Structure 1
Amino acid sequence: MKFYIFARTVVKGILKVLYRVEIKGIEHFPKSGGVLLCSNHISNLDPPMVGITCPRPVSFMAKEELFKAPVLKWVLPHVRAFPVKRGMSDRGALRTGLKVLKEGHVIGLFPEGTRSKTGEVGKGLAGAGFFALRSEAAVLPCAIIGPYKPFGKITVVYGPPIDFEEIRREKRSAEEATEVIMSHIKKLINDNKG
């Protein structure tokens, strides 16, 4: 945890020099309990940007290949990231994610699975819906509004938790649950552009 706080402080210092960071909706963030934080994905800088603006420590799922890179294989576990195999159902990563949520922590996910080259919100993958349905965590939409231009403005918007009670009760599919999450992210972007 000490390294997480240290890394967050360093990254925050760098990003706040490079960009004018505006945070909206921080009051919507639950102070305790498991939180599934779902955001759009426009840049490799999204995870650190969410990490420095989120009021609680965040665990991110990161593609397995990153854990093989010389420095990252040490850094990533120390900043609470855990690996996921892309392009397949990774049961180990799903179990880890559910455990993190059950223990009352925050998981940060980019449901699209990859960066949007156009800046438009793409289709979300079923993983986000899986976590939303299989846990009792609060599901919080987040929008990152850019672009990441040096000294430009980046807005990070946290929306109110999505009411998942009925969706869980109706036993909707993971794909349908993800669609609900993505629609909330799109609305946050549309409501906060400009």
Structure 2
Amino acid sequence: MPSIDVILWFLLIALLLWSLQRLYRACRRANRVDWGHDWVNLLDGLNRLFCYRYHRLNRIGMRLPKKGPAIVVANHVSGLDPLLLAASARRPLRFIIAREEYQRFGLNWLFRAIGCIPVDREKRPEQALREALRCLRSGEVVALFPHGRIHLDSDPPRRIKAGAIRLSQITGAPIYPHRISGIRGAGSVFGGVLLRSRARIKAASVIYPEAWGRDQLQTLVQGILEGDEDQENPLAI
């Protein structure tokens, strides 16, 4: 007759397997985007559960076109931001990220699997630009944080980088600006992910590059990302 210890271990393993099966099914139900690999699709579902249930993300649903190129931009307040944007989208997002982040130990496999575009700020940044242009011309969605690194409203003003503007004007792809708020761990890469938030994403009106000059686009996008209410409707300017 099996001992009490053996029975307890058996029950513990059975409970663990049952819990994993429930989580697997929940991730499958939550998945909204086909990333081309079943296991990445499972991670998509897990990320949506994490963002909507743990971080209480508002359900705006990113208003992207069903097909065709698009550029998603947002302010950057924590390491949680890309997870929030991916959870809000119904299409895969090709994030442009710093090469040092792309090569981060333990995460490089994930960044490669979801098609992130690494940019080397010091050496040949044009390589990332060419890859992003190729993606847009293939009808994909490119996402980036124009501030370049974490930047809070309380920080000294920092002019956004012109990458999104250049990509939009070269390809004609519209820009979809978003503003992230409600992050408890704002200012921290890992704190933003770990500390429970009441995350909010606010979408501004889509911006079509042919209606604006480069400097106008730069000012417009910067104003939206920094919470300037007057900039949220481009047609009102």
TM-score, normalized by length of structure 2? 0.69
3-state SS of the aligned residue for 2:199?
strand
Q: Identical aligned pairs, as a percentage? A: 22
3-state SS of the aligned residue for 2:94?
strand
TM-score, normalized by length of structure 1? 0.83
Give the conservation status (yes or no) of the 8 Å contact 1:64–1:85.
yes
- Aligned pair partner of 1:154 in 199, 206, 226: 199
Which string of whole-angstrom CA distances, capped at 9 and with x for unpartnered residues, describes residues 125-184 of structure 1?
Answer: 1111111111121211111112235443111122221132122xxxx34x5533222223
Greater displacement, 133-142 / 80-89? 80-89
Give the conservation status (yes or no) of the 8 Å contact 1:40–1:142.
yes
Report the residue type matching 1:154 in the other structure.
Answer: A
Which string of whole-angstrom CA distances, capped at 9 and with x for unpartnered residues, describes residues 65-107 of structure 1?
Answer: 1233332221101012110012566111000001111111111
Match of 2:56 in 1: 20
Match of 1:29 in 2: 64
- Aligned pair partner of 1:110 in 145, 151, 166: 145
1:119 CA drift (Å)? 5.3
Describe how 1:123-138 pairs up with structure 2 within 5 A.
123-138=159-174
3-state SS of the aligned residue for 1:76?
helix
Report the residue type matching 1:138 in the other structure.
Answer: P
Which string of whole-angstrom CA distances, capped at 9 and with x for unpartnered residues, describes residues 103-124 of structure 1?
Answer: 1111111001011144567421
Matched, 1:178 2:214: no
RMSD: 2.5
3-state SS of the aligned residue for 1:61?
strand
Q: Quick one: structure 1 residues 179 and 59, their matched pair in 2 at CA, closer, same or farther if it must change by over 3 Å? A: same
Q: Quick one: structure 1 residues 64 and 5, their matched pair in 2 at CA, closer, same or farther if it must change by over 3 Å? A: same
Higher relative contact order (CA 8 A, sep 6+): 1
1:24 CA drift (Å)? 2.8
Match of 2:27 in 1: none
Match of 1:90 in 2: 125
For 1:7 and 1:189, the matched residues in 2 are separated by 37
Which string of whole-angstrom CA distances, capped at 9 and with x for unpartnered residues, describes residues 29-58 of structure 1?
Answer: 222110001111111110111011112110
For 1:25 and 1:14, the matched residues in 2 are separated by 16
For 2:219 and 2:59, the matched residues in 1 are separated by 25
3-state SS of the aligned residue for 2:200?
strand
Give the conservation status (yes or no) of the 8 Å contact 2:177–2:224.
yes
Matched, 1:51 2:96: no
Give the conservation status (yes or no) of the 8 Å contact 2:172–2:210.
no
Q: Which runs of 5+ in 2 are unaligned?
A: 1-35, 186-194, 233-237
User: Quick check: which has more Rg, 1 or 2?
Assistant: 2
- Aligned pair partner of 2:208 in 149, 159, 163: 163
Give the conservation status (yes or no) of the 8 Å contact 1:29–1:158.
no
Match of 1:38 in 2: 73
Q: Quick one: structure 1 residues 20 and 48, their matched pair in 2 at CA, closer, same or farther if it must change by over 3 Å? A: same
3-state SS of the aligned residue for 2:67?
coil
Q: Quick one: structure 1 residues 63 and 189, their matched pair in 2 at CA, closer, same or farther if it must change by over 3 Å? A: farther
